[in-house]
Amino acid sequence: MFDSDQPKEECGVLGISLPSGDAASSAFFGLHALQHRGQEAAGIAVSDGRAVRLHKGQGLVSSVFSPEKLAPLVGSMAIGHTRYSTTGGNNERNVQPFVVETMYGPLGVTHNGNVTNADRLREGLLERGAGLMSSSDTEVISLMLAAAKGETWEERLANMMSSLEGAFCLALLAGTKVVATRDPWGFRPLSVGKFPTGGHAVASETGALRTLGCENIREIQPGEVIVMQGALMKSFQAVKPKTKQARCTFEHIYFSRPDAVWDGKSVHAVRQRLGEELAREHPVEADVVIPVPDSSMPAAIGYAAVSGITYNEGFVKNRYIGRTFIEPTDDLRRQGVALKFMTLEENLYGKRVVMVDDSIVRGTTSGPLVRLVREAGATEVHVRITCPPIAHPCFFGVDMGSYDQLIAHQLGVPEIAAHIGADSLGFISVDRMMTAIGPSVMPLPGGVEAEGHGYCNACFTGQYPVPVQLSLADNKQRFDGVLG
């Protein structure tokens, strides 16, 4: 009830290797910087080169870990994870990291993304007699990796990667090393940086690495494997990157923190350009532009700048009520989004308002927000959205719902406007969105020539970059995707 109507977070992964010292504390603060990517569970696994120690649980990083919980996590290598469930339900057995015993010693695995052929891979493991304890594709990856051929963990990882389809960023705790990689399509972000005092770290976002004080931060290439051992780091290209890259546009639209840099682009600057293009495509006469906090704030600034309409705050957001285990009373339940958003009436009363938001998924929150603005005295409410209509599910690690849950799959734009009670509604087009984001600027290794703009827009267009055959958790329907 408290969640806004936005795509649900993916996951955040982290890996740390120090010459010596306490990796768990660094992992704890790194996960704090990745908390926005997953708020259902968190975990840290630490190794001293001999034994792996693990603590994980459901809840926020601050509730899962305490000084007493961190104290036993002794070692100079660590991997960590913040989770929102995509494949596999939200229960304790699916919380990461996974740690499995292998003939080569313990192996810890964290994963961000969604392996689209996990069902087939799971069936193959079961046929070979493997015992699976969870419904997560991360466990499938762990068991496949444990059985892969190779003299070292990085060789086993390289040999196993060609079997995986879809989105995966991995951080592994393997013997005396932390090993990380990214799928050859480049769906999800993963970067590496160097500690000034020695050692290295990988993380889903550059902001987490900057929080830890890392320098020389760079994006890990699609298909590249990073091997961190003590103060040393090496890398190699394990799998040739795909010529048609598939970076998720929603990292720029919503998921990443605004201080992140991905694909050589400032996320904050991209969001501001999205607002600028939105204003050019869907102008309207109004008195004030307001954002729906927080991710839409740069876009609203951009919209105001191009339109010449005054920017101001219209909502105050309670950032601490989004994840609660306390059931509200019936009276509070009727308050709906008012528990999470309150209006600044002095900025809205008697005004024609442009309300800028990043997305409409199921259409459950936009209507109540429009109603709050009207109740604050606005004479008109015009809604502007910085992504195109989401008419197709995501199969690559983002929970956007199934076809029967996506309002843009059921209704056209005029019908959605009527449904949410807006005077007008404008979604940015795919072309304008890509003008704001721009084509991928990262050259691919090995002289690979990239095709197209380098981004995945399947949730808008239905053109999936890889074939997908995955049961949707909500309605068990199956979908055979097409090559984009």
Q: Which of the residues are catalytic?
A: 11
- Tell me: cis bond preceding 97? Omega within 30 of 0 counts: yes
Question: What pairs with residue 82 in β-bridges?
Answer: 12, 42
Q: Is 155 exposed, middle or buried (0-12, 13-18, 19+ CB in 10 A)?
A: middle
Give the amino acid at 169.
C
The C-alpha atoms of residue 117 and residue 168 are separated, in whole angstroms, by 12
Helices 267-281 and 297-307: angle between axes, nearest 10 degrees: 40
Helices 413-420 and 366-375: angle between axes, nearest 10 degrees: 50
Cα distances (Å, whole numbers) of residue 226 to 68, 203, 240, 388 = 32, 12, 15, 35
Region of 74 (left: φ > 0; alpha: ψ -120 to 50; beta: rest) is beta
Sign of the alpha-carbon dihedral angle for 190, 322, 295, 254: positive
Helices 137-146 and 153-161: angle between axes, nearest 10 degrees: 120
Q: Is 173 exposed, middle or buried (0-12, 13-18, 19+ CB in 10 A)?
A: buried
44-82 burial code (b ≥16 CB/10 A, e <16) = bbbbeeeebbbbbebebbeebbeeeebeebebbbbbbbb
Residue keyed to tokens 């729906």: 292
Contacts of 36 (CB under 8 A, 6+ apart): 9, 12, 255, 257
For the chain, the residue count is 484
